[in-house]
Amino acid sequence: MAGSTSVVVAALFANGAIAILKFLGFLATGSPSMLSETYHSISDTGNQVFLLIGIRYSSRKATRQHPFGFGKAQFFYSFLVSVMLFGIAGWESAKHGYDALMHPAHGGGAESLLLFGMEVRPIWVNVAILLGAIAFESYAFVKANAELRRQIEEYEWSGLVQAFRETSDVTTLTAFTEDTVALVGAMLALVGIGLTELTGNQVYDAATALLIGILLMGFAIALAWENKRLLIGESVPTREEQELRALVRNDPHVTHVDKFRASYVGPEKLLLALDVSFDPQLDTEEIDEHISTIEKKLKEADDRVHFVYIEPEL
């Protein structure tokens, strides 16, 4: 949880500063790409706020109405991020880029801007802002990447693709993907603005704005899909389920594991429910003792296991 929180806080400060700079760049130059990137960074900043709310809400203690805690709040708020923020920002960016393509601006705008008593070409204002954005986003990306790599190593995933499919830490996943998209978006804007400056053709700047919007909407769909699987109670991957099932089945007092159900009730927080057949010669007290032992073994084998319910079968 601490790792996820630090990742989000780093991204929050970076994106807040970047959003202000990009908006100032748009006001100064009128670049469609800079407006799309402004939408992008505003959505990123709101994203971090929602994720921090989710982290805080999910840390509440369990109650009678919510006996397994509030861990799924992070799934819910991350889903809101995908639908409300990235979807809306992506649509607005794409729409603005499309409008700029259909109705291109004539001329290259102001030849120079007066900043701090000095005349500066608009292209250099945008380049400076975008390079600063890349620097800020790189810092946030490094933080998110380090946390995700730690999880990949801990759970022995093959790489980023498997981590994206199997992780339950949607907060880190969202921050990592968002930082990646932010870096790509800033680079696209840099290329589009540069090509427009070299050719004098505004279509490159407008096309880049459209691409940034499409990029944001694509991410919104992917993130919403990943949160859907957790919100509706996806089980652990087959390999991990087999390992936990084998741990129970290999207990000398267990004759058969009849049912094994696992579901995430929060980021890196698993609920296990098992129907287990024990040695028929065991009495009730002995079965209770062995159930406690198995529960302890399961929690030691995988630190994501928080709740274990074992129903002895005849």
What number is the average pLDDT over the span 102-107? 67
Is 80 exceeded by the pLDDT of residue 162? yes
Share of the chain above pLDDT 70, in %: 93
pLDDT for 300? 92
Fold of 1-231: Alpha-lytic protease prodomain-like (1.20.1510)
What are the strands, taking DSSP E only, across the chain? Answer: 113-115, 118-120, 254-266, 269-278, 305-313
pLDDT for 108? 47
Read off the pLDDT of residues 178-207 as tens digits, 9 standing for 90 and up.
888 889 988 999 999 999 889 888 899 899
Task: Please state which CATH class domain 236-310 belongs to.
Answer: alpha beta
| 254 strand-pairing partners | 278
Query: Phi then psi for 287, rounded to 5 degrees?
Result: -60, -45
pLDDT for 143? 84
- The domain locations on the chain are 1-231, 236-310
Distances (CA, A) of 69 to 228, 296, 307: 19, 20, 11
Q: How far apart are CA 60 and CA 291, in angstroms?
A: 28
Share of the chain above pLDDT 90, in %: 22
Confidence band of 111 (pLDDT split at 50, 70, 90): low
Residue scoring higher pLDDT (6 or 307): 307
| Mean pLDDT of the chain, nearest integer | 85
Q: What's the pTM value of the predicted model, to 2 decimals?
A: 0.77
Is 60 exceeded by the pLDDT of residue 40? yes
